[in-house]
């Protein structure tokens, strides 16, 4: 993968232009994805490697992206613990809820056969793509997955999660131990299947204050990062709402810190120190007039200043209302403007 622009950026090495991929680049904004969803349930797409690979490759057929991210769901590996997950139209995921320390103690040893389909999907994708295009595996970080288990689904306040953490600290740590072990196994399978890098989504870490993040989240996330990095691949940690404690997020020891749009890229880079950075255009800019979108892209690139180690991405996933043409404009502007700037 010496010619992979994305992997060079992960290691803060010079590239001919800025690397770009987008969270949820395979998803509901693409008509070909919507056509598949008319025929298959979301979990069917995760369950069948050929379908997951097809969805993963759809945006790569349209756009000159520097990386593909395997299609799966953040809660998919919970099947290995025998935990049921369903998706209600317009409501998001519904998860079998953990309500007591006893529920944590009853969790079984993971059955890795439950998520082998993701590994096979990665093998299929890796065979289809040139080596210059990296394949990214991913998983949910323990805090974010735990929040789904404790809330029973999505939440605005995360009160059930915080209540459990504060009242049952020993059980909380046992739960994160179990999820950490599951996540390491899941990501190791993805790496052995051909993933060139992995991303940990700690999407809801910003629900916590810095002191609780430091003591009740960071040690487990860092354990995953260390064990996966030991496999020889870069690790990205992405979170939202953590602008006030990005220095702590950097203590995960991830190679790349993904940041949302709530902070200036330059300030974020200063906070994380000597690490690569990923981000951080507000996804709403893809709904703006095209020239305004180009300007917003150039502003992000200007803040990066051409320094090695910037991977252009959004500050969260692509919105379903996005027109595919807007994505094409974004990618073209990232590549063209950064190539011109670096040639000067």
Residues with active-site annotation: 24, 28, 37, 73, 148
Strand-strand pairing, 85-88 and 19-20: unpaired
Quickly list DSSP for 55-87: HHHHHHHHS--SEEE----TTGGGGGGT--EEE
Rounded CA-CA distance 316/81 in Å is 28
Exposed e or buried b per residue across 109-118, where buried means at least 16 C-beta atoms within 10 angstroms of its C-beta: ebeeebbebb
Question: Which residues contact residue 271 at a Cβ distance below 8 angstroms, ignoring those fewer than 6 apart?
Answer: 246, 247, 250, 263
Q: Indicate the DSSP class of residue 108.
A: P
Sign of CA dihedral 192, 109, 173, 101: positive
Sign of CA dihedral 47, 229, 259, 286: negative
Helix (H) or strand (E) holding 137: strand 134-140
């Amino acid at each position: 993968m010496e010619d992979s622009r994305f992997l060079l950026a992960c290691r803060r090495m010079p590239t001919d232009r800025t690397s770009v991929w987008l969270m949820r680049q395979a998803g509901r904004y693409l008509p070909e994805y919507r056509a598949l969803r008319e025929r298959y349930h979301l979990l069917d797409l995760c369950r069948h490697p050929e379908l997951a690979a097809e969805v993963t490759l759809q945006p790569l057929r349209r756009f000159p992206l520097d990386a593909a991210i395997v299609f799966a769901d953040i809660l998919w590996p919970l099947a290995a613990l025998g935990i049921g997950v369903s998706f209600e139209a317009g409501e998001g995921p519904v998860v079998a809820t953990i309500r007591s320390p006893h529920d944590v103690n009853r969790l079984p040893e993971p059955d890795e056969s439950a998520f082998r389909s993701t590994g096979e999907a990665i093998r299929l994708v890796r065979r289809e793509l040139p080596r210059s295009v990296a394949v990214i595996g991913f998983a949910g970080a323990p805090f974010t997955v735990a929040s789904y288990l404790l809330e029973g689904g999505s939440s605005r306040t995360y009160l059930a999660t915080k209540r459990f953490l504060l009242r049952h600290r020993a059980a909380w740590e046992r739960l994160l131990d179990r999820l950490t072990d599951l996540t390491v196994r899941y990501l190791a399978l993805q790496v052995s299947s051909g993933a060139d890098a992995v991303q940990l989504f700690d999407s809801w870490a910003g629900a916590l204050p810095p002191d609780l993040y430091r003591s009740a989240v960071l040690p487990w996330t860092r354990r995953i990062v260390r064990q996966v990095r030991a496999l020889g691949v870069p690790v990205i940690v992405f979170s939202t709402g953590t602008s006030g404690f990005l220095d702590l997020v950097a203590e995960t020891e991830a190679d790349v810190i993904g940041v949302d749009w709530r902070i200036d890229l330059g300030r974020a880079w200063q906070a994380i120190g000597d690490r690569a950075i990923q981000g951080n255009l507000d996804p709403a800019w893809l709904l703006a007039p095209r020239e305004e979108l180009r300007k917003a892209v150039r502003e992000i690139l200007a803040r990066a200043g051409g320094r090695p180690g910037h991977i252009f991405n959004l500050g969260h996933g692509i919105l379903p209302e996005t027109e595919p043409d807007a994505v094409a404009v974004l990618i073209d502007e990232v590549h063209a403007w950064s190539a011109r700037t670096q040639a000067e």
